[in-house]
Amino acid sequence: MKQEFEPVIGLEIHVQLATKSKMFCACPSGAKADMRPNTALCPLCSGQPGVLPVINKEAVLLALKAGLGINAKINKTSVFARKNYFYPDLPKGYQISQDDKPIIQFGSVDIETEDGQTKKINITRAHLEEDAGKSTHESGASLIDLNRAGVPLLEIVSEPDMRSPQEAYNYLTALKKIMQWLEVSNCDMEKGELRVDVNLSLRPKGTEKFGTRIEIKNLNSFKAVKDALTYEIKRQSELLNGGGTVTQQTMLWDEAAGVTHVMRSKETAQEYRYFPEPDLPPLTISEEMLESVKSAMPVLPAEKRAYYEKELGLNAYDSKLITGSRGLCDYFEQVLKAGAQPKNAVNWIGTDLLGKLNTAGKDISESPVKAADLAALINYIQSGKISSKMAKEIFVKAFESGKSVKELVESSGASQISDESALEAWAKEALAANPKAAADVKAGNGKAIGALVGAVMRMSKGKANPAVLNKIFMKLING
C-alpha cells in the first residue's frame, strides 16, 4: 500500500528595493532594460580593490517599512557580513549580506487557505543584501552585465509553514501585495524585482520529523512556483514509495518541459564562510528613525477591508476587490470623496472600469476616467439627470476620449427629462393610445405598465426619467 506524504514548504523571497541608487554606492539602481550593459557601474560595485562601501539610508528605511508591514521585530542593531562564493557575475568574489544578526526577525503574514480559513505564515527573518550581476549565455558565449551588481535586496525567509502549492501561491500573493502597498518594491517579476527560491521536503502524514530538503530555483512567476511544487511533490512521493531516497540538492525548474533538473548539491551556511564585513560598522536603528517610519505608514489592506465592511457596509467580496492594490483603493476613496455612494462606486469600478482597463492593458493609475468623473457619472444617475443606459454610453465615450463626463453629458444632450408637466403630457397621450394597458394596470397587472412607459420612451427618444414617469402613470390611472 502506498504511503501518503505531507509537503513541508518554505520560501525565500528576494525583493528588489525601490531606491534610486545601489546598496553601497551611488550608481543608479533598477537600471532600465534598454541601458547599455556595464554602464551603471563604478569601482565599488565592480569589485575594484581599495574601495569602501557606504550603506544606503533609503534602503534601510524601506526595509523598516517592510518589517512593520509583516508584523516583525525590528532589531535596533544588525550586522553586515561577507558571504563568500564564486560566480562569474559576483565581481568581488563575495556578497555583502546579513547573517546571524539581520535587521528584521519573527514576522508573519496571514493567508487564505484552500478551505477559506485564515492561516498565519511565520517569517523567520528578513535581511538586507546586495544583488549580483547578470549572466547571459548565447551563441556559444557567456556575457556578464554588472548593471545589477550592488542593487539593494531584502531577502524574506519564511518558516516551513506551508503545506500545499496553493498555500505557497497565496503566501506569495499576500506578501507581494504588502510590498507594493507600502511602495517598498515594484515587485515586477519580469524585471527580476521579485525572485523566489522554494524549499521543500516530504514527511509521512501524521509525523513531525522533516524529510530531506531540496531547493528549487529559476522560478519566474507565481504559477511556476505552484507548478514546480506540484511536480516535485509527485516526483518525490513516487521515489519514496518506490524505495528510493531523496538527496539534498538544488534544482532548476524547466518551465517549458514542466520538470525539475539537478543544478548542484545544496550548500550549507558553513560553506559560505560568513564573517562580519570589516568595512561597515554595525547598523544602528534609532528610536526616532523607527517612529518616523511608523508615522508615515499607510493603513494596510487588512485594516482597510475591516473598515470598509464595518463602516461602509461593503461585503467581503467587494472589500477584497477594492483593496486589490493601493492604487485601486486610493481611486475608490477619491470617488467617495467626490460624493458617490460606496456600493455604487464599487459596482462601477469592479465591473465597468476594471473591465475596460484590463482590455486596454492599463493600470488604475492610467485610467482615462478620473475618480471625480466617475463620481459625477454616478451622481447624475442618482439625481435622475441621466439613465443607467445613458451612463454606460457616456462612460465608454469618456474612457475612449479622455473627455470629462460633464462635457460629454452636456454636448450629447443625454440628460433625462424629469419635468413633470412634459412627462404628464406624454403619459396622457400614451394612455389614450393604449386603453387596454391602462385597464390591465388598474386591475393589478403591474407588468402592463411597461407598454405605457415604452411608448413615452419612444416619444422622448429615450430621455424620459422612468422613475418619475412611473409615478405619473400610477397617479393618472388610479386617479
pLDDT digit string, tens, across residues 144-192:
999 999 999 999 999 999 999 999 999 999 999 999 999 999 999 988 8
Range from 178-192, 205-219, 389-403, 416-430 carrying the lowest mean pLDDT? 416-430
User: Do 316 and 268 fall within a single domain?
Assistant: no
The mean predicted confidence, pLDDT, of the chain is 89
Domain boundary residue, one of 383, 412, 441? 412
Do residues 95 and 117 make contact, with C-beta atoms less than 8 angstroms apart? no
Q: Residue 354 — very low, low, confident or very high, per pLDDT cuts 50/70/90?
A: very high
Nearest to 340 by CA among 299, 308, 309, 371: 371
- Classify residue 195: in a domain, yes or no: yes
Q: Check residues 420 and 42 and name the one with the higher pLDDT.
A: 42
Can you tell me the distance from the alpha carbon of 318 to that of 161, in angstroms, rounded to the nearest whole number? 29
Q: Does the structure show a pLDDT above 60 at 442?
A: yes
Do residues 99 and 83 make contact, with C-beta atoms less than 8 angstroms apart? yes
User: Do 305 and 399 fall within a single domain?
Assistant: yes
User: Do 76 and 178 fall within a single domain?
Assistant: yes
Average pLDDT over residues 247-273: 82
Domain boundary residue, one of 412, 442, 466? 412
Do residues 373 and 343 make contact, with C-beta atoms less than 8 angstroms apart? no
The 10s digit of each residue's pLDDT in 389-404 is: 888 988 999 999 988 8
- Give the per-residue pLDDT at 156: 98
Grid cell locating 259 = 520538470
The 10s digit of each residue's pLDDT in 327-338 is: 999 999 999 999
Do residues 246 and 202 make contact, with C-beta atoms less than 8 angstroms apart? yes
Can you tell me the distance from the alpha carbon of 280 to that of 125, in angstroms, rounded to the nearest whole number? 21
Average pLDDT over residues 102-130: 95
User: Do 56 and 191 fall within a single domain?
Assistant: yes
- Give the per-residue pLDDT at 456: 67
Order of strands across the sheet that contains 94-98: 94-98, 80-84, 275-276
CATH of the domain at 436: 1.10.10.410
Query: How long, in residues, is the chain?
Result: 479
Q: Check residues 210 and 438 and name the one with the higher pLDDT.
A: 210
User: Do 116 and 230 fall within a single domain?
Assistant: yes
- Give the per-residue pLDDT at 158: 97
Q: Check residues 288 and 87 and name the one with the higher pLDDT.
A: 288
- Give the per-residue pLDDT at 479: 64
Helix (H) or strand (E) holding 347: helix 342-347
Q: Does the structure show a pLDDT above 80 at 432?
A: no
User: Do 393 and 307 fall within a single domain?
Assistant: yes
**φ and ψ of 158, to 5 deg:** -85, 165
User: Do 85 and 15 fall within a single domain?
Assistant: yes
Q: Residue 468 — very low, low, confident or very high, per pLDDT cuts 50/70/90?
A: confident
User: Do 112 and 71 fall within a single domain?
Assistant: yes
- Classify residue 44: in a domain, yes or no: yes
Q: Which residues pair with 194 in a beta bridge?
A: 15
Nearest to 405 by CA among 427, 432, 436, 374: 374
Do residues 237 and 270 make contact, with C-beta atoms less than 8 angstroms apart? no
User: Do 243 and 391 fall within a single domain?
Assistant: no
Do residues 30 and 193 make contact, with C-beta atoms less than 8 angstroms apart? yes
User: Do 152 and 279 fall within a single domain?
Assistant: yes
The pairing of beta strand 214-219 with beta strand 249-254: parallel
Can you tell me the distance from the alpha carbon of 252 to that of 79, in angstroms, rounded to the nearest whole number? 31
Q: Does the structure show a pLDDT above 60 at 372?
A: yes
Range from 172-186, 276-290, 436-450 carrying the lowest mean pLDDT? 436-450
- Classify residue 327: in a domain, yes or no: yes
CA dist 176 → 12, 33, 68, 185, 220 (Å): 13, 22, 14, 9, 14
Residue-range definition of the domain harbouring residue 441: 420-478
- Classify residue 294: in a domain, yes or no: no
Give pTM, 2 decimals: 0.83
Do residues 133 and 90 make contact, with C-beta atoms less than 8 angstroms apart? yes
- Give the per-residue pLDDT at 408: 84
Domain boundary residue, one of 289, 314, 346? 289
- Classify residue 428: in a domain, yes or no: yes
Q: Cα(first)–Cα(last) distance of the chain, in Å?
A: 82
Query: What's the structural domain count of the chain?
Result: 3
Average pLDDT over residues 361-388: 89
Q: Does the structure show a pLDDT above 60 at 419?
A: no
H-state helical runs in 71-221: 165-181
Do residues 203 and 5 make contact, with C-beta atoms less than 8 angstroms apart? yes
Among the ranges 131-135, 198-202, 264-268, which has the highest mean pLDDT value?
198-202
User: Do 325 and 404 fall within a single domain?
Assistant: yes
- Classify residue 303: in a domain, yes or no: yes
Nearest to 77 by CA among 281, 278, 285, 289: 285
User: Do 187 and 319 fall within a single domain?
Assistant: no
- Classify residue 221: in a domain, yes or no: yes
- Classify residue 55: in a domain, yes or no: yes
Q: Residue 297: what residue type?
A: M
